[in-house]
Every structure is written in structure tokens, then in C-alpha cells.
Structure 1
Amino acid sequence: MAKKPLILSLFLLSWSTFTLAQNLHLIDSLSRQLRSADGKARFELLSDLAWEYRFSYPDSTVHYARQAFDLGQKLKLPTGLAEPLNFMGVALNYKGDRLGAFDNYTQALKVAMDQKDSLQTAYSNNNLGRLFFEQGLLARSYDYFIRALSIFENLNDSSGLAYTYQSLANLYKSQRDYPKAESNYLKAIKIRLALGNTRDIMSAFSQTARFYQDNNQHDKALRYLHLADSAGQVIHDEINLAEVHISLSETFLNKGHLDEAEAICAEALKVIAEKKNMRMLPQAYISMGQIMFEKRDYVQAKKQFNLALAIAMTTKDIASKMEAHYFLWKISEKEKNKLSELSNLNAYLLLKDSIKDLDLARQVERLQFEIEIERKEQENELLKVDQVKTDAIIKQQRLSNIILAIIIVAVSSLGFIQWRSSKKRREINEKLAQQNQFIQNQRQEIIEQNEKLSRRNQQLSDINHEKDTLMSIVAHDLKSPLNRIKGIADLMEIEGGLSKDQLSYVRMTKDTTQLGLALIKDLLDVHMLEESVVPNYSTFDISHFLLEKTNTFLPAAEAKNIHLHIARVETIEVQLDTDYLHRIIDNLLTNAIKFSKRETTVAVSAGRENNELWISIADQGQGFSEKDRLHLFQKFKKLSARPTAGESSNGLGLAIVKTLVDRLKGSIDLVSEQGKGSEFIIRLPLKN
């Protein structure tokens, strides 16, 4: 039986937290009270609303928390002002804005300490600890958790202690310190039971059961799943009960109790299907398929796995697709269906590599977060130093003013003052004359240098024109023989009768010929673009455009275990030349995949800013050196980075991109550091 990937466990954890958190009845009640409230009562209601919206509608949390903070400042509240800042940080974290969350948590910690608000100081420390833990900065997260725990213990705040124990449990679990992780999970359960909130109790039981499942302690997992099931029955939470039942069926399956596993899985599957919960449905079908597989009912097992695969493809659930293909492969082995066996095995291996890419992407995101946090902390330190300097200058200025006042009082002679002023003017005029002469000399030098540069540029332009003409002729002359070679290879492959080695040679010939044709195409494109006409503008949706481009490059990315995804994109109607934009994105994505190592990530983003469309393509490849930047967009210039899987590189891709961006009256910027990846940002004006 296949072991479930870590990403599936993380998904179930986040989904259960999401569904348990929302309390619509409480939100309605708070909204009604808010209509007539004012003063501190209104501040508290706004904060409570912000907290309740944090999972389903984080933007609403930011909205209400901002109102609460502004009102608290206006009321000059002596304490509690850090709470809405903490809520804004939580919401931004759920939205994926880690740096925004860090800024709000840091501000909350400062405000809480200034107000001597121990409770919010503890929550701020715990929130910062969770943020750093999620980004893999375990040492820093541990320090914040310990500070929070100490404050909550001094305050005897049970709810805060429960949160912190769960945070520490997750930290110890990630470090594989299972005894400490178990101890903290159990402490959190004990506190939740004492507080009596059934939803929190169910969540604590579920998290503890999942911990035991991950450590193959099935009896303990079964016990806590039954407890979570009992809590869910009390609050009639059907969807979360179904999730618990799926976990129960998996535990029974691991223990070999197939009949119990089938019965409880069927019950959960019925609820999930009726609720049309597309996130949970693939895993429910997979669990039922595993049970049928273990019972050797391969017909029913295949049916369940195909149902899971169909829904997972619709919802783009990579983990479920991988599991479905794995078991379909195993069933094909049992049925001795070689074609199906090979097809499902290949699909499984590709998806398995994609799962690894998600973990790698997470690691890269953590590294980027750490770098950005260090930059922010350095900026804060510089701001503090600048503030100290400013204070010193102000003090010095005050002292100067006092001295000047004494001098003015002492010097009462108007003639002396006039003489002194006249002398100062003469000195200033002499300095100005010297500066003007210096400027004139510099201007003359600049004129001479510009003339030299102009002559040199003309020489370079002539040489470049000769090179382009020669390359165009060579490209045209080479294209026909290469096409004939490719045609002959195609005919040999179609006619068949070749041995395995001969087929391999034919494919190698075709691949090599295709690389030559691609180079010729780039050469011809460069020549054509330099003589191109005005762009042909049309209107289209940039989000659909980027989605199609990303899907086109998915096979190439998956072949290298590279996680290619859209990190952020806005739905914007733009008016641009689609052919130009196609070629720009093609070249940038090709380079990002070509020069990235296996198991890295390539992120595509886009949005509108100041009547401009910006598109970002960021990778975690080899980056660019300062020397590379000097030749970045020059034709036939191969830079320090090299393709990571033996691909060809002709040094034309970025030159074509720069030419097309210039044609669209845009700009292209590079953010890169050698060895730490690169990000190309294109900015194009939006036509009305």
C-alpha cells in the first residue's frame, strides 16, 4: 500500500482548521451589535468581527481590524491596541503575504510592549513564532514560542497556552522530536477540554490523531479519531465528521480491519458526495479504492481510482492524481495489462516528482522570506541609526541656536553685523565662481566623451549589421538540409522495422535536427524583428493568456521536476500585440526552465500598476553575475549560466525579448543574485 505524501496531510490539516473556524451565527450577531455601538464597545466588536472572518474572508479581517486600530488610536486606548494589528497579520498570512504579516506582527509587538500589554505581547510572540516556523526558520520560531509560553504562564491564560503548546508540538514534530511533540499535543488537549469549546476540542483531537497516524501508532490514532468523532457528533458538523471518518477508515485499513474500513469509508463517501465537496472527494474515492484493492476486488478498486482521478484532474489535485495512478498501475500489474501498466507508472512517476517540487518550492519561499526579513531588519537598524543621528543633529542645532542668540545679544553693533554679512557674501561668491568653473570643465569633458562614444557606436552598428546579414544568409541556407534530414528520420520511424538501438539513433537525429531548426528560427526572428512593422494591437484577458502559456510549458517543467505555477495574476483586459507577447513569455519561460536545476520552482505573476501591465517570471536558477548584466540583452552573448539538462543555448532569447519589449514601448528589469535565482519584470503601457 502506498504511503500518503506529506502534502496531503498538510492539506487535511489546513482544511479542517478552515472548516472548524467559521462561526456564521456569531458573525451575524456581532454585525447587528455593531450598527448601534460606539466608543470602546465598537472597538471590541470590530476586533471580534476581524477575528471571525480570518479564515474565509481574510480581506474582511484586514478591513475590520484596520477600522478597529484607527478607532483605538482616536480613542487613545491605554491597552489592547495591538490586538487588531495581530489580527491583520493573521489574515495576511492566510492570504500568503508573509512580509505583510511580519510587518503587522512586529508593529503589534512594539505597540503591546509600549502599552505594557502582556497578553498581546504574548500573542505577538506566538504569531511571529508561527510565521517563522511556517517558513522553516525553526531556531527563531522556537525563541518566540518560548517567550510567548513564559508570558502566558505568568498570566495563567489557558487559551494562549493551548495555542502555544500546539505551536511547539508542530515545531518538535518537524524536528522529529516525537516525545516532546506528543507531550505538547496532549497538554493542548487537556487545556481545550477544560475550556469546553467543542470545535477547538475536535480540532485538537484531530491534530493529535494525525500525529499518531504519521508515526504509524495506529491504536493511539484510532482512539483520538473516535474522540474527534464524538465531538463532531455533538456539534453536528457533517463535513468534518466525514473527514474524521476517512481518517478512521485509513487507520482500520492500516490495521488490516478491511470490513470496518469499508463500512465507515462508505458512510463518509456518501456525505462528501452529497455535499459535493470537491476538495475531499478524490481522497475519499482513493481510500475506498485502497480498501477494495486490499480485498482483491480489482474491478471495484479500479472504478474508485478512476473516479478519484477524474475529479483530481478537474481540481488539479496533484497528490490525489499521483495516488490514483499508483494503484491503477498496481491493478494493471495484477491484470497483466502491460500498456495500462506502463501508462499509469509513467504518470505516477511524473506526479511524484511534481510533489517533490512543491516541497522544494516551499524551501525556496522560506529562503526568500528569510532574506527579505533580514533586509527589513537591517533597514530598521539603519532607520534607528539615522534617528540617532537626526536627534544628535537637532541637539547640535539647538546648541548652535543658543550660541547664536548669545552672539546676537552681545553683538549690538549694526555696522559689525553688516560687515560680517558682506564678508560672508564675498566668500560665497568666490566659492560659487570656483564651482561654476569646475562645472564648465566637466561639461567640456562630457561633450568630448559623447563625441567619442558616438563614433564608436556607429562603428559597432555597422559591424552588427554585417553580422546580422551574414547570419540571415547562413540560416536560410541551413534550413533546407536540416528539414530534409528531419523528414528522412520521420519516414524511417513511420516505416518501422527498426531495432531498439536504431530507433534511439533516429530519435537522437530528430532531436539534434530540431535544435538546429530552433536556432535557425531564432536567427531569422532576430533579423525579421529588426525590420518589423508597427505592432498589431488586440484586446484580450491577461489572466487567461498567462494560464494558457503556463499550461503549455508544464510538460517541459515536469520533465525536469520543476514546479511551474502562477503565483499571482489579476483579471485585466489589455490591448497589446499577442504575437509579440507570446514570444516574450515563451523565451522567458524557456530560459527559466532551461537554466533551473531540478526540483526548483518557476513562478509567474502579473498585475496592473500606474496604468502599466507588469509581468514577472521568477526562477531559482543560477542567477546572473555583474559581468553578465553588461551583456544581458546582446545577441549571441552566452552568459555564465549553463543549461542544467544539456539543452542548447544560442544567446538569442533575451535579445529577442528586449527587442519586442522596446517595440511595445515597455521596459524590462532584472532582479538577480548569482546562485540565488533571478526575476525578470516586464512593464508595458496599457492602451486606452
Structure 2
Amino acid sequence: MLKKPLILSLFLLFWSTCTIAQNLHLIDSLSRQLHSAEGKTRFELLNDVAWEYRFSYPDSTVFYARQSYELGQRLKLPSGLAEPLNFIGVALNYKGDRIGAFDNYGKALKVAMDQNDSIQTAYSNNNLGRLFFEQGLLARSYDYFIRALSIFEDLNDSSGLAYTYQSLANLYKSQHDYPKAESNYLKANKIRLALGNTRDIMSGYSQTARFYQDNNQHDKALRYLHLADSAGRVINDEINLAEVHISLSESFLNRGELNEAESICAEALKVIAAKRNMRMLPQAYISMGQIKLEQRDLIAAKKFFNLGLDIAKSTNDIASKMEAHYYLWKISEKEKNKLSVLTNLNAYLLLKDSIKDLDLARQVERLQFEIEIERKERENELLKVDQVKTEAIIKQQRMSNIILGIIIVAVSLLGFVQWRSSKKRREINEKLAQQNQFIQNQREEIVDQNEKLSRRNQQLSDLNHEKDTLMSIVAHDLKSPLNRIKGITDLMEMEGHLNKDQQDFVRMTKDATQAGLDLIKDLLDVHMLEESVILNLSIFDISAFLLEKTNNILPAAEAKSIHLHIAKIESVEVQMDADYLSRIVDNLLTNAVKFSKRQTSVSVSAGKSNGELWISISDQGQGFSEKDKLQLFQKFKKLSARPTDGESSNGLGLAIVKTLVDRLKGSIALESEQGKGSTFTIRFPLHNN
């Protein structure tokens, strides 16, 4: 249950631990050389010092890199000016200033391209790709990684290639494209092995091992962990070796080799405890507790879980606290200690909700980041447009000056004409004055109207913010108690010893709780879909997609003795948002089963015609009246048909379907008569995809 989050947290912890190490002797040596260095040599030394400080002291990196950039500008260096800007971006990213990092990476890319500096152009692209990847903007990050890879390949830069292959591997892993992820991890390892940097080799082996662990390929994971262990022993890196040993113990545990797992975990725990590494210590204790639990030594297991929990509380390590409470809950069940079961279960559920809240906050932060980036890009485009307009105005002014000079000469030659027309000019000037006054009055009126519009816009913004805040509060305040009620009913079922009436009450409670959770989910989906317009496009085969969707709903159909089958599906490769299409098909299939009587059938068909993909879902249910069709896709409109087996219906499903179909530039049509079943057909243009 907790294995995947645990692996992810250990991976992030391992990466951060590996990158903290700094070469203090090198920093001292570089600092001494700075005292007497001048010119380009000083520029290069400032860059070297800035780079060495990037992990533990990013402020120092910013300080030295800015000195380097200013010195390079004074020296008017023909290349290399983008390097300190890239270093500033790296430091700001480690500090959490994503927008500042984006600005400096973008500036570095522009400077590098202006100087025809290919190597810094490649690193700038890769840095931008990593920044967007960390913020979840995978499509944009992929474009930058591919540009960087192409340049590094042209330059035959091995270090840059390893760096980019590692970035691409992480990207493919996040997209569950494991063959490509594996290929890129292995390419990066091969290059690093040839370069001979032992610390980079150890890091690469460790990340490759973690990749195989996440995919349950424990034999391969063990091989790379042993390689990482060998590299760590060469450089005598005790703390990173200890973390590799924790990973080794996990692999042995997953293979059922408990003695080996216990021995190597104990060795690692001894080093971590001696070093008082508070970030690694909770997980080390929990890993040993898992081993003891598998050995059925409940007393020792409880001891290690409690030790891990105590350290996690002192460091506010939410993931480790949640994991410790989970295993203590399971041990309490084995000991039949009901009070301890309730205590640890409640603590686990509360922490689980907290992690969900943190994930939501991170999603909001990523959305804000993307909005800010788009705003800056629009500002840059506007600045370019303004620059073009300014240049056009300057040219026009020059032409006006020339014309004005000609006019002055002409007026000088024809002065006597002015004397004749002076009276007429005075009349014209009076009219112009009146017109200017009228224009001034109109301008003041426009300013007043703009101020009123601005105040109204602010009021609307405040109301929208209050709505969003209320939605978040309602979701949090309703979901948490409903999840706890569901958890308690699950626990009551697990305890057993319930008579028939009590079982019915528990089932009714679970059904009501699940209906409430489903309603909250639909409300949040509707709210999210009204706000979000970002599509995550991917290429997939529609036949495999619909087969998976049909298999997922099959248990619900079989429970009602409904024959769910695929009538006809053509193999069509499409590019669209798979998540949106999945929601559309899930809602239509669920409704077809929910509103159909027992012993009927539901069929699915798909194909392409006239440049369009079409998907059809038919049932033999209650159908729709003419009145139903008028309000078919409206929110909270419950139609004449009712679920046939007591299922819940909140009137949001078809509204969500219509919104998602519109987002994908498609159309939806209904063929139905009341009492004679229904057929929903959705169509999407293939050429737009």
C-alpha cells in the first residue's frame, strides 16, 4: 500500500543527499587564486567558485556569478557571458525562486544565441527543460530537452549529453514510458563511466537502481546497487553508502531474503545513527521495522517503528510519520489492541489527508508558475510590438521633419499668401480650440468610465476569489470527515462479529458516505474544468483504450447481469488528451449500466469516417423524453430516468461529458426514445489532432 510513495520519497532524499556534498578544498584553492587574478582569468575563477557553492550556499553562487557577469560585460567578452546567468538561475531554483530562475535562464539563452555560444545555448535549453519538468509542464520541458540534446550531439559534448540523457530519463519515467526511461538512464551511465568521475558514476548507478526498484525488477536493481556500493567505497562516502545499503536491504526484503536484508540494513542504520543524519534516520528505522515485521518479531518491529516515528515527529517528516503509523496500525491489529488500532489508524488518515492538501498546494503553485510564465511571455511579446511601433514612429517623425522643412521653405516664399488668409486661419483656430475642448471633455469621461470599470472588475475578482476559497474549504471540511467515517466502517467490517442488522447499517453508512464523496468529486471536477484549459496530448490506439475502459466497468455490469460487449472497433491511432477522453467514456459507460435494467445489454462501437473519430455507446435502458433532451447537459438537472439498482445520481455526469467534449473540439449526439434505450455518439476531428 505504501511502497510507491516510499520509493519516491527515498529517491528524492537520495538525490538531495548526493548533491549536498561540496569540494571545500577546491573552493579554498579557487578563493586564494581570486586575490591576484585579473581579466578573463578572474572571470573564469568567479564562475568556478559560483558553481561550487550552488548546493549548500546558493546566495554565494548568486553573489559570485553576478560579479562574473558584470566583469564579462566590462571586458566585452565575445562568448561565455551566458554561463554566469545560467549559474544564477540554478541557484535561484534551489532557493525556490522559480520565476527568477526562469528570467535568468531566458536571459542566458538570449545572450548565448546572440554570441553564437552553442555550448551555453544547449545548457540554457536543458536548464529551462528541468525547470518546466519540476513544475509539471512536461510538454514544454520535452521541447527544451530535445533542443539541448541536438546541440550536445553536434558538439560531441559527453558531459552535456549525460546531463540531458538523465533529464530525459526522469521525464520518460514520470510519463510511465519505462523502455525509453531505461534506455536514457543506461546511456547516461555509459558516458559517465567513460568520463571517470566516481561521484557522478555512483549517482547514476543509484538512480538507475531506484528506477528498477520502482518497476519491481529487483535483480537488476541489486546489480546497480552493488555497482553504486563499489563506487562509494572508492571515494569513502559513508553517508551515501549507507543510503545505498538501505536500498539494498529493500531489494533483499522484496526478494524474501530477510537475513541479508537485516544484516545490511543494520550496518547502514549504525552509520546513519552515528552521523545523526536526521533526514535519513526515520526511514532507516522504518526499513528495519519492516524487516522485523516480515520476520514476525512484532516486539522488535514495534520498537523500530516507534523510533522512526519519534525522529519523524521532531523533523516534521510527514511521509515517514504516515508510514510509521500505518505499520503500527497493522501490528495493533495482529495484537488485537483496539485502542492502538484506532489511535494509529486515525493518525494515518489525518496525515494522508495532509499529504493530499500538500499535493493540492503544489498543484496550485505549479498553476501560478505557469500563469506567471505566460504573463511574462506576453509582456515580452508586447515589448517587441512596442519596439516595432516606436521604430515606426521615429521613421514617421523623420519624414514629418523633412516635410515640415519643405513647408517652412514654401511658407517663406509665399508669405504674402499668409497675410491674405490670416483671418480665415483665426476662424479655423477657434474651431480647433472648440474641438480640442470637446476632445478633452470626452477624454475625462473615458477616464471616469475606466475607473468605474476597474472597480467593477476588482469586485468581480474578489467574488471569484471568495467562490474559489469557499470551494476549497467545503471540499476539505467535507472530505476529511467522510473519509474518516468510511475508514471506521471498513474497520468495523474487518473486526467482524456483526449481526445482520449491524451489517446492513454499516453497508448503508458506507453507501451514503461514498455517495457524498462522489458528489464532492463531481463538484470539484466541474469547478476544475471551468477553470483549466490546458490539454495534455498523447498518442494512443483507440481500440486498446476502449478495451481497457470496457474491462474496467465490466464488474459493475456483471453485478446487474448486464451483457457489456464491444460491437465494432477499428484500430485508429489518435492524438488527444487521454485523461479527458477517459472521463467522457467512463461517464457514458457508467450511466449506461446505472440506468439499465437487469438482463439487458450495453454495446460499444468506434471507428473513423470523413476525417473524424466516432465512438458510440448504446443501451436498452429507460431512454429520454423530449423534455429530458432539452435540459440534457445542464448541471444538477435530474431527468425522468432513475438508476435501476439504487445507485446515486447527482445530475453532473452529462454536464461534465459535454464540457470535456467541447474542450476536445468534438460533438456529442443522442438518439433515444423513452422506454426504448439510448445511443450516445461522440465525434472528434482527426486532422485537428
Q: Name the structure 1 match of 2:147.
A: 147
Deviations 1:98-124 (CA, angstroms, capped at 9, x unpaired): 111111111111111110000011111
Equivalent pair of 1:354/1:561 in contact (CA under 8 Å): no
What is the total number of aligned residue pairs between the two structures? Answer: 471
Matched residue type, 1:25: H
CA-CA distance at 1:158 after TM superposition: 0.3
Q: Equivalents in 2 of 1:373, 1:389: separation in Å?
A: 24
Equivalent pair of 2:49/2:61 in contact (CA under 8 Å): yes
Q: Name the structure 1 match of 2:299.
A: 299
Q: Secondary structure at the match of 1:290?
A: helix
Change beyond 3 A, Cα 1:171–1:435 = same
Equivalent pair of 1:561/1:599 in contact (CA under 8 Å): no
Q: Equivalents in 1 of 2:202, 2:447: separation in Å?
A: 75
Q: Name the structure 2 match of 1:343.
A: 343
Equivalent pair of 1:357/1:599 in contact (CA under 8 Å): no
CA-CA distance at 1:243 after TM superposition: 1.0
Q: Name the structure 2 match of 1:57.
A: 57
Change beyond 3 A, Cα 1:440–1:340 = closer
Matched residue type, 1:316: N
CA-CA distance at 1:409 after TM superposition: 4.3
Q: Name the structure 1 match of 2:17.
A: 16
Q: Equivalents in 1 of 2:187, 2:425: separation in Å?
A: 77
Q: Name the structure 2 match of 1:532.
A: none
Q: Name the structure 1 match of 2:367.
A: 367
Change beyond 3 A, Cα 1:61–1:600 = farther
Q: Equivalents in 2 of 1:561, 1:392: separation in Å?
A: 64
Q: Name the structure 1 match of 2:36.
A: 36
Alignment of 1:398 onto 2:319:
no
- Which runs of no fewer than 5 residues in structure 1 stay unpaired? 448-552, 563-596, 602-618, 624-688
Q: Equivalents in 2 of 1:353, 1:433: separation in Å?
A: 69
Q: Equivalents in 2 of 1:225, 1:214: separation in Å?
A: 13
Deviations 1:211-267 (CA, angstroms, capped at 9, x unpaired): 011111111111111111111111111111111111111111111111111111111
Q: Equivalents in 2 of 1:138, 1:441: separation in Å?
A: 50
Q: Equivalents in 2 of 1:445, 1:301: separation in Å?
A: 75
Q: Equivalents in 2 of 1:221, 1:117: separation in Å?
A: 40
Q: Equivalents in 2 of 1:391, 1:446: separation in Å?
A: 28
Deviations 1:415-446 (CA, angstroms, capped at 9, x unpaired): 46986999878755643455547878999999
Q: Equivalents in 1 of 2:399, 2:339: separation in Å?
A: 90
Q: Equivalents in 2 of 1:422, 1:121: separation in Å?
A: 68
CA-CA distance at 1:558 after TM superposition: 9.1
Q: Equivalents in 1 of 2:216, 2:294: separation in Å?
A: 18
Change beyond 3 A, Cα 1:370–1:440 = closer
Matched residue type, 1:385: V
Equivalent pair of 2:88/2:104 in contact (CA under 8 Å): yes
Change beyond 3 A, Cα 1:445–1:279 = closer
Change beyond 3 A, Cα 1:55–1:430 = same
Q: Secondary structure at the match of 1:296?
A: coil
Equivalent pair of 1:561/1:598 in contact (CA under 8 Å): no
Change beyond 3 A, Cα 1:421–1:198 = farther
Matched residue type, 2:42: R
Alignment of 1:563-574 (within 5 A): none
Q: Equivalents in 1 of 2:417, 2:67: separation in Å?
A: 57
Change beyond 3 A, Cα 1:213–1:300 = same
Q: Name the structure 2 match of 1:69.
A: 69
Matched residue type, 2:9: L
Alignment of 1:190-589 (within 5 A): 190-413=190-413, 415=415, 427=428, 430-436=431-437, 559=480
Q: Name the structure 1 match of 2:587.
A: none
Normalization by structure 2: what TM-score?
0.63
Q: Name the structure 1 match of 2:118.
A: 118
CA-CA distance at 1:181 after TM superposition: 0.4
Deviations 1:260-302 (CA, angstroms, capped at 9, x unpaired): 1111111111111111111111001101111111111111111
Alignment of 1:156 onto 2:156:
yes
Q: Secondary structure at the match of 2:3?
A: coil
Q: CA RMSD in A?
A: 3.6
Q: Equivalents in 2 of 1:4, 1:427: separation in Å?
A: 83
Change beyond 3 A, Cα 1:336–1:106 = same
Equivalent pair of 1:232/1:241 in contact (CA under 8 Å): yes
Equivalent pair of 1:99/1:369 in contact (CA under 8 Å): yes
Deviations 1:502-533 (CA, angstroms, capped at 9, x unpaired): xxxxxxxxxxxxxxxxxxxxxxxxxxxxxxxx
Change beyond 3 A, Cα 1:558–1:51 = farther
Matched residue type, 1:381: E
Q: Equivalents in 2 of 1:345, 1:405: separation in Å?
A: 89
Deviations 1:30-56 (CA, angstroms, capped at 9, x unpaired): 111111111111111111111111111
Matched residue type, 2:19: F
Q: Secondary structure at the match of 1:389?
A: helix
Q: Equivalents in 2 of 1:88, 1:196: separation in Å?
A: 27
Q: Name the structure 1 match of 2:168.
A: 168
Equivalent pair of 1:19/1:240 in contact (CA under 8 Å): no
Equivalent pair of 1:560/1:598 in contact (CA under 8 Å): no
Q: Equivalents in 2 of 1:258, 1:140: separation in Å?
A: 45
Matched residue type, 1:198: T
Change beyond 3 A, Cα 1:298–1:52 = same
CA-CA distance at 1:323 after TM superposition: 0.7
Equivalent pair of 1:332/1:340 in contact (CA under 8 Å): yes
Change beyond 3 A, Cα 1:441–1:339 = closer
Q: Equivalents in 1 of 2:57, 2:523: separation in Å?
A: 31
Matched residue type, 2:480: A
CA-CA distance at 1:9 after TM superposition: 3.5
Equivalent pair of 2:11/2:210 in contact (CA under 8 Å): no
Q: Name the structure 2 match of 1:82.
A: 82
Q: Equivalents in 1 of 2:278, 2:267: separation in Å?
A: 17
CA-CA distance at 1:354 after TM superposition: 2.4
Deviations 1:640-682 (CA, angstroms, capped at 9, x unpaired): xxxxxxxxxxxxxxxxxxxxxxxxxxxxxxxxxxxxxxxxxxx
Q: Equivalents in 2 of 1:441, 1:135: separation in Å?
A: 48
Equivalent pair of 1:266/1:288 in contact (CA under 8 Å): yes
Q: Name the structure 2 match of 1:567.
A: none
Matched residue type, 1:90: V
Change beyond 3 A, Cα 1:164–1:387 = same
Equivalent pair of 1:360/1:599 in contact (CA under 8 Å): no
Q: Secondary structure at the match of 1:279?
A: coil
Matched residue type, 2:262: E
Matched residue type, 1:270: K
Matched residue type, 2:41: A
Deviations 1:346-378 (CA, angstroms, capped at 9, x unpaired): 111222232233333333322222222222111
Change beyond 3 A, Cα 1:429–1:55 = farther
Q: Name the structure 2 match of 1:26.
A: 26
CA-CA distance at 1:133 after TM superposition: 1.2
Q: Secondary structure at the match of 1:256?
A: coil
Q: Equivalents in 2 of 1:41, 1:559: separation in Å?
A: 61
Q: Equivalents in 1 of 2:155, 2:86: separation in Å?
A: 19
Q: Name the structure 1 match of 2:558.
A: none
Normalization by structure 1: what TM-score?
0.63
CA-CA distance at 1:405 after TM superposition: 2.8
Matched residue type, 1:373: I
Q: Secondary structure at the match of 2:56?
A: coil
Q: Equivalents in 1 of 2:169, 2:136: separation in Å?
A: 15
Matched residue type, 1:116: N
Change beyond 3 A, Cα 1:46–1:421 = farther
Equivalent pair of 1:7/1:319 in contact (CA under 8 Å): no
Q: Secondary structure at the match of 1:358?
A: helix
Q: Give % identity.
A: 76
Change beyond 3 A, Cα 1:292–1:333 = same
Deviations 1:625-646 (CA, angstroms, capped at 9, x unpaired): xxxxxxxxxxxxxxxxxxxxxx
Change beyond 3 A, Cα 1:443–1:394 = closer
CA-CA distance at 1:399 after TM superposition: 1.5
